[in-house]
């Protein structure tokens, strides 16, 4: 007869059935129950019932009854990866884009204001510094507007569960 990984506690319960279970044994059984709940093998109410049964168990046989139909060593569940076409580029999240844009803009501000640039007779900095400062600020505003738009679209998609809003068919309300 071939035994699986879930048969360890049951085998020890068969051989040691009337022996008292330790606190560590109960914790191990509860760990198995937690893993089974996370994997979707147990519903919440059944999980609660079995955990209370494991806490109340005094012997190995009683403890084995709480986890009899579950594998002792949980399989490691990998989080699902988002489905993406092979040629599709990953989309940057708005948070890091906003942070990088702000850091770049702050760097240009420091470059434009802190060094003692040679000034002309009227006290103005060079035209290249003025152009760099203005163009970076305009670009920063554009990047922030796009990033905020992506954040709002993400919030709406999350709120709707990924479904597009329902629109009535043309001519349906006439």
Cα–Cα distance, 127 to 85 (Å, whole number): 46
Structure token pair of residue 125: 């900095």
Tell me the C-alpha distance between 70 and 8, whole Å.
Answer: 11
- For residue 147, the tally of other CB atoms under 10 A from its CB is 20
State whether residue 172 is helix, strand or coil. Answer: coil
- 99-151 pLDDT tens trace: 888 898 888 888 877 777 777 777 777 787 788 888 989 999 998 998 888 88
Which pLDDT value is given to residue 1? 39
Phi, psi of 20 (to 5 degrees): -75, 140
Q: Which of 24, 42, 26 is nearest to 34 (CA)?
A: 42
- Each residue's pLDDT tens digit, 19-53: 888 898 899 889 889 988 898 888 999 999 999 99
Q: What percentage of the chain reaches a pLDDT higher than 70?
A: 70
| Tokens matching residue 97 | 């884009």
pLDDT, tens only, 62-103: 888 888 888 766 555 555 565 655 666 666 678 888 888 889
The pTM of the whole model exceeds 0.75: no
- For residue 109, give both structure tokens: 């501000």
Q: Tally the residues of the chain.
A: 174
Residue 108's pLDDT is 85
For residue 49, the model assigns a pLDDT of: 92
Q: Provide, for the chain, the percentages of residues in helix, strand and coil under a 3-state DSSP scheme, each rounded to the nearest 5.
A: 55, 0, 40
| 2 band by pLDDT with thresholds 50, 70 and 90 | very low
Residue 146 token pair: 């796009």
14, 35, 45, 77 from 51: Cα distances, Å: 21, 12, 10, 22
């Amino acid at each position: 007869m071939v035994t699986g990984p879930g048969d360890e506690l049951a085998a020890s319960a068969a051989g040691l059935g009337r022996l008292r279970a330790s606190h560590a044994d109960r914790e191990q059984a509860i760990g198995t129950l937690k893993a089974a709940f996370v994997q979707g093998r147990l519903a919440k109410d059944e999980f609660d019932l079995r955990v209370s049964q494991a806490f109340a168990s005094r012997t190995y046989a009683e403890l084995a009854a709480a986890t009899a139909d579950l594998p002792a060593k949980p399989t490691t569940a990998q989080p699902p990866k988002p489905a993406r076409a092979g040629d599709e580029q990953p989309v940057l999240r708005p948070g890091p884009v906003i942070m990088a844009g702000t850091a770049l803009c702050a760097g240009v501000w420091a470059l434009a204001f802190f060094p003692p640039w040679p000034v002309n007779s009227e006290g103005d900095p060079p035209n290249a510094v003025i152009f760099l400062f203005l163009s970076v600020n305009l670009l920063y505003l554009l990047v922030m507007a796009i990033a905020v738009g992506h954040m709002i679209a993400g919030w709406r998609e999350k709120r709707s569960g990924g479904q597009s809003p329902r629109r009535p068919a043309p001519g349906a309300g006439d």
